[in-house]
Amino acid sequence: MNLLESKVILTKLEKEIFIDDSSNIELSGFKSPIKKSPYYEIMVGLDLIRIRNNEFYGTKKSYFGLRITEDLQSVVVYEPDQQSIFAVKNELEKQAAIELIDYLLIQSPTFKELVRKIIYNYKQANEVSGIEAQEYNAKLSVLEGLLNVRKLGVNFAIQKKNIA
């Protein structure tokens, strides 16, 4: 028997269930540092199963953002503007979401394997030139850094991202 790891966020209205499978995790929106924002940024999307009144209520994709410092020494989790995993949650529910993110970044073998697969595919498509080479190397470094995230290196900034 092959059991899957799952995590549940109990909210006032429903249960949001994350099943630790690579098909339920999306990494997208890689951004390199700019003067206004000296961080690398990546969006992480999680497919969650929704259960209401003990019945299947559908699925939803919830996101959180990762900001990684240029020196790759710290990771900050932030709330995106749309489809946030923290949206419409009270403090206890937000704490459950933080525990899920903590598990994903630090313990989840599926997340680590997905990052390794992205790194492998990225290296296979190694068709970069001049200026692109610096961004290519930076993206590889950030992805490789995600494989070594430690609990002490993750900070949570649960507030809306400022876009100005």
pLDDT score, position 152? 60
pLDDT score, position 150? 79
How would you label 33-70 residue by residue, b for 16+ Cβ within 10 Å and e otherwise? eeeeeebbbbbbbbbbbbbeeeeeeeeeebbbbbbbee
The domain segmentation of the chain, as residue ranges, is: 6-160
pLDDT score, position 144? 92
Grouped pLDDT means (10 residues each) for the chain, 164 residues: 82 95 94 86 97 96 92 88 92 94 94 95 75 80 89 68 39
pTM > 0.85: yes
pLDDT score, position 163? 37
